[in-house]
Amino acid sequence: MLFPTVEYALFFLLTLGVAWPLVRWRNWHNGFLLLASYVFYGFWNWNYVPLLFAISLFAGLVAQRIQRCSENKVRKAWLTFGVIVCLTVLCYYKYTAFLLLNLFELWPHAAKLSVFQIDSPLLPLGISFFVFHAISLMSDVYRDKLKEPLHIPDALLYVAFFPQLIAGPILRASTFIPQLTKSPDPQAIAVNRGLMLIVLGLVKKVIISSQLAVSLVDPAFAAPQALAGPDMLLAVYGYAIQIYCDFSGYTDIAIGCALLLGYHFPDNFNRPYTATDPRDFWRRWHISLSSWLRDYLFIPLGGSHGGRWLTSRNLLITMLLGGLWHGAAWSFVIWGGLHGCYLILHRFWLSLPWLMRFRETTVWRWMSRFLLFNAVCAAWIFFRAASLPQALDIFARFTVSGPLTLAKDSVIALLLLGLIGQYAPARWQGALEREFSKWPTAMRGAGFAIVLFAIELLVPGGVVPFIYFQF
């Protein structure tokens, strides 16, 4: 069930209409939202609803055991057991074929097994996200970030809550479960902000991302050998804008829907292509994932303590595993490795004191934005390519001169809209929300409906699935 569809609109309106009358009875209210979340997930494939329920229940029960134990060794043993089980489930569904095929390639008798076809099980939608939520639940309880006794229904709803279930943002149990322990206040709902975020997300996804995918990115990456360097470079830049508008658009809609239901999600994007260095980029891009990797992987590995080489090792391991989390392919590992190298090189750059004045100049700030954007785009090639050989072939195309045939007016307009939009002052959105709040309720509803209808008219051919659904 895609967000920008009539099916989801009807589902959300029905959920909204039933949830708010139940708000005075918290248990009934949360129970209905849990049921709605399972229906939402089951719309894709009912066969995997039991898996979602089992992971959520398992994490909740382990978290309860940790919370009730006073001995640290026992608590740590329960946490280790819970994390291993969750990661085993993730690896089974996501990495079975990848691991076996690579093991057979290293085995000298692998050729004898070439007659067997090795396929991973059907990948449950959003499994990487709800497994990370399960691990966050157990870890936050272990770290005493949840002070109140954990109730299993709250744990189930935290993992399965439908706005974030399929593609995030990754919520922390310590910040979201406390919201579930009390009923939302109807008077505190930021309705205008919620509606604005939904509209903004639809514009990003339906108008910019989907159209760039259809008119530029997908055709170019389907047959890169048919394109010269200028066209391929334009397609790479197009993918950078497409994936940002795709994922941040999904996040905007998710945050907006949660707000209308009375819950607050953290911001997940903050104009990432305006970043001036790799560390700044990861503080702006997929913030919930990058902070999760920092807190639950990088810091436990030792973080930045222990000297330059250990810090570099920890950064590289974190980003390599972050790349592998996105997909079972060496191209994703290389993508993560490149970002790990960017972070390591940036730390070395900062260690040169004689360049401090230059780094503080306006000239360098804009130079660094340009260099970083192109470095990020180079890494996106491995992320988008269907295989590692295709990614290398795309790099080879940059040496081939030729005409720029894909630069249609509509494509250039979409690229500029997606890129320049990141430099728009944040106060503009606030001013628009305040102006929108002055309208009568009926006018606001009509305006929202007109915008949705206009978006539907602009894209009659349907919506391309969200990129992060594959993770």
Tokens at 393, concatenated:
């072939």
Q: Average pLDDT for residues 210-225, to the nearest whole number?
A: 90
Mean pLDDT of 18-47: 92
Distances (CA, A) of 315 to 82, 292, 303: 25, 14, 8
Mean pLDDT computed over 238-246: 94
pTM, whole model, 2 decimals? 0.89
**Structure confidence at residue 121 (pLDDT):** 57
| More confident site: 118 or 2 | 2
CA atoms 457, 244, 465, 391: torsion sign: positive
Question: What is the helix (H) or strand (E) element at residue 257, kind and residue range?
Answer: helix 229-261
How far, in Å, CA of 87 to CA of 320, rounded?
Answer: 16
pLDDT of 251: 93
Whether residue 4 is predicted with pLDDT greater than 70 in this model: the reply is yes
Could you please report the per-residue DSSP string of 154-165?
HHHHHHH-HHHH
For residue 115, pLDDT over 50 is answered with no
- For 133, half-sphere exposure in the C-beta direction (CA atoms, 13 angstrom radius) is 31
> What number of helices (H) and strands (E) belong to the chain?
23, 0
Residue 452 above 60 pLDDT?
A: yes
Contacting residues for 369 by C-beta, under 8 A, at least 6 apart: 273, 274, 275, 276
Position 381 scores a pLDDT of: 96
Cβ atoms of 206 and 455 within 8 Å: the answer is yes
pLDDT at 108: 58
Query: Model confidence over 255-276: pLDDT tens digits?
Result: 999 999 999 999 999 999 999 9
The gap between the terminal CA atoms of the chain, to the nearest Å, is 16
Closest among 257, 234, 60, 104 to 167, alpha carbons compared? 257
Q: Is 409 exposed, middle or buried, given 0-12, 13-18 or 19+ CB atoms closer than 10 A?
A: exposed
Which helix (H) or strand (E) segment holds residue 328: the answer is none
DSSP 451: H
Write down the H helix ranges in 271-361: 278-282, 287-293, 299-301, 308-326, 330-350, 356-359
pLDDT score of 397: 87
The model's pLDDT over 153-207, given as tens digits with 9 standing for 90+, comes to 999 999 999 999 888 799 999 999 999 988 888 888 888 889 889 988 988 988 8
Reported as a single tens digit per residue, the pLDDT across 290-325 is 999 999 999 999 988 878 899 999 999 999 999 998
Helix (H) or strand (E) holding 126: none
Smallest Cα–Cα separation from 162: which of 130, 115, 202? 130
| 459, 210 Cβ separation under 8 angstroms | yes
For the chain, give every domain's residue range: 6-106+120-187, 191-416
| 29 flagged as catalytic | no
Q: What is the pLDDT of residue 304?
A: 86
- The answer to whether 56 touches 156, Cβ cutoff 8 Å, is yes
Answer whether residue 117 shows pLDDT above 60: no
pLDDT at position 106, please? 64
In angstroms, rounded to a whole number, what is the distance separating the alpha carbons of residues 151 and 430?
A: 37
Name the DSSP letter for residue 209: I
A 10 A CB-CB count for 54 gives 11
Tokens for 465?
């699935």
Whether the Cβ atoms of residue 160 and residue 52 lie closer than 8 Å to each other:
yes
Provide Rg for the chain, Cα atoms.
Answer: 23
Active-site option among 29, 326, 339, 346: 326
Query: How far, rounded to the nearest angstrom, does the alpha carbon of residue 78 sit from its chain's CA centroid?
Result: 28
Instruction: State the Cα–Cα distance between residues 78 and 422, nearest whole angstrom.
Output: 44
